[in-house]
Structure 1
Amino acid sequence: MENQKKAYIAGGCFWGMEDLFRTQPGILDTEVGYLGGENENPTYRNHPGHAEGIELTYDPEKTSFKKILDYFFRIHNPSTINQQGNDIGSSYRSAIFIQNEEEKNIAEEVIKIVNDARRWDGKVVTQIEPFTKFWPAEPEHQDYLKRIPNGYTCHFERFGTFL
């Protein structure tokens, strides 16, 4: 399919985010990996500064970057700094990796909508970072909760849409 786009986000352990996003309308493919860090070829055991993130391939005729971010803010807690559930550290930060000015503007707009809704206990601390490179995680991390349905996750739908 020619008309595909990619989005890059991080919101804690990548297993749970991937599992929930894979079933969303317009999402064509998901892949977990590392974003925004200091080293080349990061691994699960060596990814300084990288966030555990997800690459979403989507059909812009069936969903949008704005709808993806709406869902993103519903399935993880964007008001905690470097933490989701039991996972603590910058690897588990909330971040949107923007590829252009349009994505930056949409990210800022959705963050304002989420803050104004006051559904979370605190303000959104999600970082807006420039996308540089996505490094796919090792094969054992791909589709983890599909292969191990009772595996660890701290992600779930907390609210209906913010939009």
Structure 2
Amino acid sequence: MSDNVITLGGGCFWCLETAFNTVDGVVSAYSGYSNGHAENPSYEAVCSGNTGHTEVVQVTFDPERLSLRQVLEIFFALHDPTQLNRQGNDVGTQYRSGIYYHNDEQLNAAKDIIKEIEDTEIWPNPVVTEVLPLENYYQAEDYHQDYFTNNPQNQYCNMVVAPKLAKFKKTFASKLKSSE
């Protein structure tokens, strides 16, 4: 696996995948499931909370255009890393915050940025993001890929993904792909 691939969990994968795919320097971002004990889990199985998987996005990035540090800064801007096993109304262990690193560089970068976040007290509560080696990754079903783009009338997309994406695009305007 490439050194330029990292796996991130921060709530519903539709939000993370949509945002990362708008960033210049992101080659791809795919929704999936990670670090659970069931092989080839389905969305329904993961949502049951019984597989141990996290909803994740596996991000491949071009380090000439986007650094690992910037990938992690975007990740932490897209979710609340102080909420344990939830993001907003999405509740369950599958929605936990996690960085599933592929190498020591990613481990060290994750530890560094979490320490900085805690030292600057950006959040009133402690960061609960788990930082673990990637044990496994299963790409989610095809209908989850580009979900927001393909399902713009979905109520969840309108209520949760769209506002989060709008705020993200405003905050990271200089990092967006030119076609955005």
Give the TM-score taking structure 1 as reference length.
0.90
How far apart in 2 are the matches of 1:20 and 1:117? Answer: 25
Give the aligned length.
Answer: 159
CA drift of 1:76 comes to: 0.3
Give the alignment's Cα RMSD to 1 decimal: 1.9
How far apart in 2 are the matches of 1:94 and 1:128? Answer: 9
SS at match of 2:43: coil
For residues 29-48 of structure 1, what are the structure 2 equivalents within 5 Å? 29-47=28-46, 48=51
How far apart in 1 are the matches of 2:149 and 2:106? Answer: 30
Q: Is the 8 A contact 1:73 1:114 kept in 2?
A: no
Q: Deviations over 1:64-119 (max 9, x none)?
A: 11111111111100000000011111100000001121111100001011122322
Which sections of structure 2, spanning at least 5 residues, go unmatched?
173-180
Identity of aligned residues (%): 37
Which structure: greater helix fraction?
Answer: 2
State the partner residue of 2:177.
none
Select 1:50's aligned residue among 46, 50, 53. 53
Post-superposition, which runs of at least 4 consecutive aligned residues in structure 1 deviate over 3 A? 157-161
SS at match of 1:39: coil
Give the TM-score taking structure 2 as reference length.
0.82
Task: Letter of the 1:126 partner, please give it.
Answer: T
Q: Is the 8 A contact 2:3 2:103 kept in 1?
A: no
Which sections of structure 1, spanning at least 5 residues, go unmatched?
none
State the partner residue of 1:145.
148
CA drift of 1:120 comes to: 1.8
SS at match of 2:57: strand
